[in-house]
Amino acid sequence: MALDSKTPTGPIAEKWTHYKDHINLVNPANKRNLDIIIVGTGLAGGSAAATLAELGYNVKAFCFQDSPRRAHSIAAQGGINAAKNYQGDGDSTFRLFYDTVKGGDYRAREANVHRLAEVSTNIIDQCVAQGVPFAREYGGLLDNRSFGGTLVSRTFYAKGQTGQQLLLGAYSAMNRQIGRGKIKMHNRHEMLDLVIVDGKARGIIARDMVSGKIERHSAHAVVIASGGYGNVFFLSTNAMGSNVTAAWKIHKRGAFFANPCYTQIHPTCIPVSGDHQAKLTLMSESLRNDGRIWVPAKLEDAKMIREGKLKPTQLAEEDRDYYLERRYPAFGNLVPRDIASRAAKERCDAGFGVNKTGEAVYLDFAAAIERYGIDQARLKHLDENDKQLVIKLGTEIVANKYGNLFQMYEKIVDEDPYSTPMMIYPAVHYTMGGTWVDYNLQTTIPGCFSIGESNFSDHGANRLGASALMQGLADGYFVLPYTIGDYLAPDIKMGKIPTDSTEFEAAEKNVVDQINRLMNNGGSKPADYFHKKLGKIMWDKVGMSRNEKGLKDAQQEIAQIREDFYKEVKIPGTSDSFNPELAKAMRVADFLELGELFAKDALHRNESCGGHFREEYQTTDGEAQRDDENFAYVAAWEYKGNPSDAVLHKEPLSFENVKLVQRSYK
């Protein structure tokens, strides 16, 4: 099957407008005859549900949490990009497009990224109209900050809780439609299979997680907005419930899975403290605006610090190695995430790590506190040479900007980050790969769409900070509502899709069989036991840096764990009741398949690009070495039974508006 991206022709800046002018529309009276299922209620799913319901479609939305407001978009801290150019610093739609394609290491589809940049400004307008309380300046206008990989300030934010505020905006828009009866919300439900009738997605099988009841739901189209699969690593900044299940189930039904190996390892997370750990916590990238990253310059100092004999504040300036500022003078601490993460690993692997495990670097605010303090002292006509006063004034400013993040850090680590540098280390955070979609955000299954983090399309091999929120809302508010209408236009006279067909019956049986197999296998180990084993292999061999041997081993080891899992897993309780362990085991089963495909994809990509770093392919100074001649394509995998049998399809990427160069932030 040849992949057709269905990218419109014409100049890049006119594609989306031209497309919108020529698609089929569904008239308002007919929209009420069409049903749409949306799985997931984060920024993408929530905004899509609200908008499609406003347009008049009947929406059935599903989430596994107890309320749509709790989707993990809520945890995004730093901000959302938009090419508003409110700061007059030279930003434009083209620049946002360019930065995103370059930041993604030239592995994204140009037309999608340009559309994203185009609609970015509408997102900010829409959210403000909804009452999202973005940060403002004293003049009452919106404030911006700068993020990694860019040279302009285009990031809008609400303290360190931007994702929360944007999600609550989408949630409020959903609530309005739930109240009107246009969205039927199914909380505490998990999608467990996709139903295809006559070649088109026409429904899902879902489990009511309270009663355990298996339910059939039909619709004229199905939208997957279930987020990313970072939890394949067990430890990640994703929520405990974040899973690949919905995306994996459609993959098994025919949707190609693209670039699974493109994973973002975020440079600023709180380091792992022990084996008991269930999840990792992110410290927003916005902290790199003001924090300086360093390790001791001398190995003996690093050793003393690890043993608790030396404090970081005792180290003189010349004994510190601000390695990002040293290696990348142009971007300094604001290099993109993949680069900052690898640089931290490189220093720690070389023995300069600063916590007990040797896997941590410092993020230091002392210089920022002093700088802000002096500013304030001057502003208030106070003595700028009074060190204590300067620190007090500077601390107030830093607290105002990042207070909730500092508080979060202190609660977890039990150290005061105002007086001693934070310790950070990279952790799995976001997955750029996902279900393959065309320009319409449609998967390779007609009528099955994928939006937000669950698709692959906009971030290439590395996502820039503050772009995930932008993409989720762009897809849901401004892109899908057009493209899905074009798809649904021929279906207006179809009427309700019956759920008593053989296709629904077969899909339901598939789900019930899997549940019974897991419940009745008589094992003795918790699902987490296998999940942790999988996570360790993923982190050690398919993590920040990868090599051929490790990837080959990983594939075999994961296949073995999967076999053991089905023999030895133990699920307590019953399947017809509230059973969190059953839900967990079903997710782990899917991660055990995805993990192997992930390693297979990483092994086949004989180059380094963005978040995918193969040790065999690096420049002499240790930077990622792309191979544009052989690998400038999207790797879309077709399911064939076992992950090892997956068949590769290639979507060639052509760059007509951005010149491919070695990415440099020096």
Partner 1 sequence: MKLALKIWRQNDASSKGKMVDYTVEKIEPDMSFLEMLDILNDELIVKGEDTVAFDHDCREGICGMCSLFINGEAHGPDRLVTTCQLHMRKFKDGDTIYIEPFRAKGFPVIKDLVVDRSAFDRIQQSGGFISVNTSGNTIDANTIPIPKHDADKAFDAATCIGCGACVATCKNSSAMLFVSAKVSQFSLLPQGKVEAKERVLNMVNQMDAEGFGNCTNTGACEVECPKGISLENIARMNREYLKSSII
Check residue 164 for interaction with partner 1 (CB under 8 A).
yes
Q: Which of 620, 593, 615, 619 is nearest to 603 (CA)?
A: 615
Looking at 12, 39, 173, 214, which residue binds partner 1 (CB under 8 A)?
Answer: 173
Whichever of 212 and 446 has its CB closer to partner 1, that residue is 212
Q: What are the DSSP calls for 397-454, one per residue? A: HHHHHHHHHHHHHHHHH-S-TTTS-EEEEEEEEEES-EE---TTSB-SSTTEEE-GGG
Which positions ≥6 away from 60 have C-beta within 8 Å? 35, 36, 37, 38, 183, 184, 186, 217, 219
Choice from 32, 89, 199, 273 touching partner 1 (CB under 8 A): 273
Q: How many residues does the chain have?
A: 666
Place of tokens 């590395």: 462
Q: How many residues form the binding site for partner 1 (CB under 8 A)?
A: 84
Q: How far is the CB of 74 from partner 1 (least distance, A)?
A: 5
Tell me which of 74, 195, 204, 544 binds partner 1, using CB under 8 A: 74
C-alpha–C-alpha distance, residues 456 and 73, integer Å: 17
In angstroms, give the least distance from the CB of 97 to partner 1.
18
User: Which residues are 191's β-sheet partners?
Assistant: 206
308 touches partner 1 by CB under 8 A = no
DSSP class of residue 459? S
Considering only residues 17, 313, 407, 654, which one is a binding residue for partner 1 as defined by CB under 8 A? 407
Distance CA 588, CA 569 (A): 11
Using CA atoms, how far residue 293 sits from 58, 320, 333, in Å, is 50, 10, 7
Residue 15 near partner 1 by CB under 8 A: no
Pairing of strands 263-269, 422-431: antiparallel
Q: Is 236 in the site for partner 1 (CB under 8 A)?
A: no
Which residue of 37, 38, 43, 168 would you call a contact of partner 1, by CB under 8 A?
A: 168
Between residues 92 and 510, which has the closer beta carbon with respect to partner 1? 92
Residue 303 token pair? 């050793």
CB closer to partner 1, 273 vs 556: 273
The structure tokens 């296949």 sit at 559
Distance between CA atoms of 570 and 565, rounded to whole angstroms? 9
For the chain, helix (H) and strand (E) counts, in that order, are: 19, 19
Strands (E), 530-581: none
Look at the block and give the residue holding tokens 């300069």. 352
Q: Tell me which residues in 414-433 interact with partner 1 (CB under 8 A).
A: 414
Residues 473-492 that bind partner 1 (CB under 8 A): 477-478, 481
Provide, rounded to whole angstroms, the least separation between the CB of residue 24 and partner 1: 19
| Shortest distance, position 273 Cβ to partner 1, whole Å | 5
Question: How far apart are alpha carbons 557 and 125 in whole angstroms?
Answer: 49
Least distance CB 411 / partner 1 (angstroms): 5
Amino acid, single-letter form, for residue 410: E
| Residue 215: CB minimum distance to partner 1, A | 18
**Binding to partner 1 by residue 284, rule CB under 8 A?**
no
Q: Which of positions 495-534 make contact with partner 1 (CB under 8 A)?
A: 524-526, 528-529
Nearer to partner 1, 140 or 495 (CB): 140
Lookup result for tokens 């800046």: 13
The nearest distance, CB 401 to partner 1, in angstroms, is 12
Which of 44, 124, 152, 244 contacts partner 1 by CB under 8 A? 124
Cα-Cα-Cα-Cα dihedral sign, residues 225, 229, 235, 236: negative
User: DSSP states of 103-133 as a string?
Assistant: HTTT-S-HHHHHHHHHHHHHHHHHHHHHT--
424 touches 361 (CB < 8 A): yes
Q: Which two tokens stand for residue 351?
A: 């023995």
Instruction: Pick from 17, 24, 277, 642 the residue near partner 1 by CB under 8 A.
Output: 277
Using rule CB under 8 A, residue 185 touches partner 1: yes
Binding residue for partner 1, selected from 15, 31, 60, 72, defined by CB under 8 A: 72
Choose the catalytic residue: 337, 342, 614, 663: 337
Task: Kindly state the tokens that stand for 308.
Answer: 């608790």
Q: Which stretch binds partner 1 (CB under 8 A): 154-162, 193-201, 381-389, 503-511?
A: 154-162
241 is a contact residue toward partner 1 (CB under 8 A): yes
Give the nearest distance from C-beta 305 to partner 1 in angstroms: 18
Q: Please work out, in degrees rounded to the nearest 5, the angle formed at the alpha carbon of residue 395 by the alpha carbons of 392 and 401.
A: 150
| Segment near partner 1 (CB under 8 A); pick from 118-126, 308-316, 388-396, 509-517 | 118-126
8 A C-beta contact, residue 461 and residue 613: no
Which position among 57, 98, 171, 617 is part of the footprint of partner 1 (CB under 8 A)? 171
Q: Which helix (H) or strand (E) holds 156?
A: strand 155-156
The region of 65-73, 254-262, 546-554, 618-626 touching partner 1 under the rule CB under 8 A is 65-73
**Site membership for partner 1, residue 54 (CB under 8 A):** yes
Say whether residue 175 binds partner 1 (CB under 8 A): yes
Q: CB 235 → partner 1: shortest distance, Å?
A: 11
**Rule CB under 8 A: is residue 403 a binding residue for partner 1?**
no
Beta carbon nearer to partner 1, 69 or 605: 69
**Smallest Cα–Cα separation from 40: which of 247, 180, 178?**
247
Supply angle C-alpha 233, 238, 241, rounded to 5: 95
Site string for partner 1, 559-598 (x = CB under 8 A): -----------x-xx---xx-xx-----------------
* Interaction of residue 88 with partner 1, rule CB under 8 A: no
Q: Which residue lies nearer to partner 1 by CB, 178 or 205?
A: 178
Minimum CB–partner distance for residue 460 and partner 1 (Å): 25
Instruction: Kindly state whether residue 89 participates in binding partner 1, applying the rule CB under 8 A.
Output: no
Residue 78 one-letter amino acid: G
Q: Which of residues 339-378 bind partner 1 (CB under 8 A)?
A: none
Selected binder of partner 1 within 111, 119, 422, 534 (CB under 8 A): 119
The one-letter amino acid at 413: V
Q: Which of 90, 274, 308, 652 binds partner 1 (CB under 8 A)?
A: 274
Distance CA 289, CA 269 (A): 15
**Residue selected from 7, 41, 51, 155 as contacting partner 1 according to rule CB under 8 A:** 51
Please state the closest distance from residue 477 (CB atom) to partner 1, in A. 5
Give the strands of the sheet with 183-186, arranged side by side: 183-186, 58-62, 35-39, 221-224, 448-450
Is residue 126 near partner 1 by the rule CB under 8 A?
yes
Establish whether 337 is a catalytic residue: yes
Please list the active-site residues: 337
